[in-house]
Amino acid sequence: MSDMSNKSAAQQAARDVEELEQRSQTAARLFDVRRIIGGLFVVYGVIVTLAGVFASDEDLKKAQDININLWTGIGMLVLGLAFLLWLRLSPTIPPPDAEKGAGEGAEGDEGTAGTERGEGGSTK
């Protein structure tokens, strides 16, 4: 963060951000949120669908004779499975791990040499 020669503060700050982008670990190590959404909604979907399958007459009466647990549960299950399917069909693209020289400018190629891909499987 040196090189203060005749550059405006704005350009200096932009270069700092570029440098931080090069060192950033988010692209490489942050797990894919689709896994979390998919997992949570499958679990929720199963629980709520079961509540719908075993719905009492009182439950049905309260929800104006709609088996709302059943329908909501099925909806959540479908959404959860859809996210897992999407993740399967188009998996997280690992960032290119070649070390890029500073100041290349192009986005999306933050250099992340030699780091493993984060999968975040431990959160479910």
Partner 1 sequence: MLHLAEGLRLPTNGLDYTLLGIYFVVVLGIGFAARRSVKTSLDFFLSGRSLPAWITGLAFVAANLGATEILGMAANGAQYGVYTVHWYWVGAIPAMVFLGLVMMPFYYGSKVRSVPEFLLHRFGPSSHLLSSIIFAVSSVLIAGVNLYALALVLKALLGWELWVSIVIAGFFVLAYITLGGLSSAIYTEVLQFFVILAALIPLTVVGLKRVGGWGGISDTLSGEKGDAFMTAWDGTGIGSGNPLGANWLTIVLGLGFVMSFGYWTTNFAEVQRALSAKNLSAAKRTPLIAAFPKIFIPAVVVIPGLIALVMEPTLGKTKDGLQYNDAIPVLMRDLLPNGVLGIAVTGLLAAFMAGMAANISSFNTVFTNDIYAAYLKKDRPDEHYVQTARWVTVVGVLIGMGTAFIASSFSNIMNYLQTLFSFFNVPLFVVFIIGMFWKKTTPAAGFWGLLSGTVAAMVNYFWFYKQGVIDIPTDQGANFVSSIVAFVVGSVVMVAVTLFTKPKPAEELAGLVYGTSSPGAPELPEKGDDVWYRKPALLGWGAMILAALCYIPFSF
Which residue do the tokens 């780091």 mark?
115
Footprint on this chain of partner 1 (rule: CB under 8 A): 1, 8-11, 13-14, 17-18, 20-21, 23-31, 33, 36-37, 39-41, 43-44, 47-48, 51-52, 55, 58-60, 62-66, 68-69, 71-73, 75-76, 79, 105-108, 110, 118, 120, 122-124
Nearer to partner 1, 24 or 84 (CB): 24
Shortest distance, CB of residue 97 to partner 1, whole angstroms? 14
Residue 97 gets which letter from DSSP?
A: -
Q: What per-residue string of b and e applies to 49-71 under the rule 16 or more CB within 10 Å gives b? A: bebbeebeeeebeeeeeebbbbe
